Structure 1
C-alpha cells in the first residue's frame, strides 16, 4: 500500500449561505491537521450550475 497524499490547499466554493456552515466547519477542522490553507471562492463568482 502507498501512503495517502495530503493536499496542499483546500478549495472551498461557497455561496456563503447558512447551509454552507457544515462544509466550512469541516474545512476549518481539516486545515490544521493537514497543515494546509483554505482557499475560499465566494458565490458571486460562481456559475449558476455550480451553485446548485
Structure 2
C-alpha cells in the first residue's frame, strides 16, 4: 500500500511476504528501502 501525505510518500507492507515498492530512481529515501519486509515501512520524497 502506498500513500501520500504532507509532501512525503509512505509505503507499507501488510502482507506476510517481502514487497517491492515502486519508488522512482530520483527519489530521496528517508527511511527503509525499496524492498520491504512484512510489517515494514518506507518513506521517501520525490
Q: TM-score, normalised by structure 1?
A: 0.28
**Greater percentage in strand:** 2
State the structure with more CA Rg: 1
**Greater percentage in helix:** 1
Q: TM-score, normalised by structure 2?
A: 0.29
Question: Using CA pairs below 8 Å that are at least 6 residues apart, which structure has the higher relative contact order?
Answer: 1
